[in-house]
Chain A
């Protein structure tokens, strides 16, 4: 067998394939309900919730939030109103809502998974030693590659899009949570221990509040990466602005591609400024 490795090449590809199949068969009891429930939920959320909200109400709510979050400065509010209205004007409102759903769900899941992993990594050297190369792998492997097992596990549509985004977008939250907790000053940690804090009290009363700004920076990165997966996820049938870009690409339709692309840029800027100003606001509070 080993001789063949030299003559025919090591069958890494075959291994990956059989590992994926094995995973699919073994965990189908897990994948099937996720596919069904998460799929239904996301469909319900984008079609029956977001799309039912009249566009002008949605824009108004975002504008008010922008006004509050940016501390009564007008820039972000005006940009939100004009940008969102432009997307509506171009007839991409429903696509926008699908994209928002995908980004929102993928980000929330990334945070739910990423923050505890980051805490684990900060607390345990072993966990850090194991997770670091895994995170490097997750971030450097071209995002397209995740689409293949995503389809194998979850079919096509929004759910595999979320899965691929999750793998691609979680690492910053994990890394920044780890970093943030490790950066908390040693004296503060000692102070909390010296007064007899339990491990949980130390974590929730001192370490997490101290690390909050750093963790929020990681979350901001995670959300932006999730958004960057929108176009890629559309290749496996995730609806939204990304799909429009992809279609335009296939038809060499510069106009449509440009308009849908602008939509993504507008969404990216709004999301970025929002998550950043949430962070700033909490820092000053």
Chain B
């Protein structure tokens, strides 16, 4: 665990509750008695959206709220910026209670401190990308030149500076969501609320966006509250995860804590699914390997490829993609100076191999002592490599995973 000195949390929710329906008082009383969501719906006709959620978010943290649809996560995020009024409880932001504010104060907090990114982007189709990005500043009556400058900066951050004059519907889904992100960043808010922001994107683009978000967060130090129904996503980007079921937060913890010590059967089942599927086998975290062909290439090509890819060792295969070994940059460089042409002279064969089905804990054991990436081999053919970072990111996003417990 990180042992940082913790200051005041930026967001602190206490007993935050939302009941939809005509008779919230009665439903609240029944909640106190410990009745379940279904029982309350039967008795009162009211739906419990969020049930006494309490949590804190530290500045600079990525806090993921995760749950399946209907678990109340979207309601919870809307309670944070009071798009939905809480039935009970308090929502402190920087020590001020949002639930007690009048409309004017609330507007000011939304303008200064909270940015929001939406699942279906929610871009204004009649405005250009730039005008969309300017929206938050425009309604604060920031002068035109200033807001254009800030909006262009925000667009640059998300890599869309060339698209300022396009309309949103001319862009792909991934680009549209970048505009959504830029629009939220342009205000320079302290907290970014992201409501299933990447759920509408296809898987490859989603991964890219997750990576970019993590990069952005590490440079800009924003506090991010990220809603998702996808455990992979939660594990990948979250510093801490709150798991929700039926409107209740069932566990809050770091990804490791949730994986290692599930608080109850529900979380366990959730995590079990992960164990069996995507995150924890080799084929889902492997990357396309950089290779050279032992029959064609020499040290010069090896060096050039390593330089291009920014790596310090490269795998060697034959024309049938059978794995032969690897060469390191140092050896290749030495060989080139001495004008050795044959790659065999510098080939190292002490490479670790795993199969596509190898489980995560086994990979971790293998990769722990290895200076070079682990090769993923199928029928003696090279299909991918696994770098250390990918294992760690997939497990928790934190380097201090205590693997013995998994």
Contact = CB atoms under 8 A, between A and B. Distances in A.
Interface string A198-210: 1001000110011
Given A201-B139, A205-B139, A210-B126, A195 B118 contact: no
A191 B111 contact: no
A201 B136 CA distance: 11
Contact of A206 (B81, B83, B118, B124): B124
B116 to A, nearest CB: 4
A187 B122 contact: yes
Given A201-B139, A206-B124, A191 B110 contact: no
B120 A194 contact: no
Nearest to A190: B83
Contact of B107 (A185, A190, A196): A196
B122 A185 contact: yes
A188 B126 CA distance: 12
Given A193-B83, A196-B108, A188 B139 contact: no
A275 interface: no
A256 interface: no
Contacts of A139: none
Nearest to B81: A194
Given A195-B135, A195-B139, A187 B111 contact: no
A191 B122 contact: yes
- Contact residues on A (Cβ < 8 Å of other chain), bracket: 10 to 19
A194 B126 contact: no
A197 B122 CA distance: 15
B187 interface: yes
Contacts of B183: 195
A187 B110 contact: no
Contacts of A196: 107-111, 136, 139-140
B139 A187 contact: no
Interface in B143-175: none
Contacts of A193: 83, 110
Interface string A101-133: 000000000000000000000000000000000
A194 B114 contact: yes
B119 interface: yes
B139 A194 contact: no
Nearest to B137: A195
Interface in B221-247: none
A194 B118 CA distance: 10
A196 B110 CA distance: 5
B116 A209 contact: no
Given A196-B111, A198-B107, A191 B116 contact: yes
Contact of A188 (B83, B108, B124): B124
A277 B128 CA distance: 23
Contact of A194 (B83, B119, B124): B83
Nearest to B136: A195
A195 B122 contact: no
Nearest to A201: B139
A198 B81 CA distance: 15
Contacts of A205: 124, 135, 138-139
Nearest to B78: A190
Contacts of A195: 110-111, 115-116, 135-136, 139, 183, 187
Contacts of A198: 107, 139
B71 to A, nearest CB: 19
A209 B132 CA distance: 14
A197 B124 contact: no
Nearest to A188: B122
B122 A190 contact: yes
Contacts of A192: 135, 139
A25 B251 CA distance: 73
B126 A197 contact: no
Interface in B177-211: 183, 187, 193
Nearest to A209: B126
B118 A190 contact: yes
A209 to B, nearest CB: 5
Interface in B75-121: 78, 81, 83, 107-111, 114-116, 118-120
A192 B187 CA distance: 13
A191 B108 contact: no
Nearest to B104: A198
Nearest to B187: A195
Nearest to A210: B126
Contacts of A185: 120, 122
A136 B297 CA distance: 83
A195 B83 CA distance: 11
B119 A187 contact: yes
B119 A197 contact: no
A194 B116 contact: yes
Interface in A179-227: 185, 187-188, 190-198, 201, 205-206, 209-210
Given A195-B139, A196-B107, A187 B126 contact: no
A208 to B, nearest CB: 10
A190 B135 CA distance: 13
Interface of A: 185, 187-188, 190-198, 201, 205-206, 209-210
7 contacts: A185-B122, A187-B120, A187-B122, A191-B116, A191-B124, A195-B135, A195-B136
List the 6 closest pairs (A to B, CB-CB), nearest first.
A196-B111, A196-B110, A187-B122, A191-B122, A194-B116, A195-B136
Given A185-B122, A196-B139, 19 more contacts: A187-B119, A187-B120, A187-B122, A188-B122, A190-B78, A190-B118, A191-B122, A194-B81, A194-B115, A194-B116, A194-B193, A195-B116, A195-B139, A195-B183, A196-B110, A205-B124, A205-B135, A209-B124, A210-B125
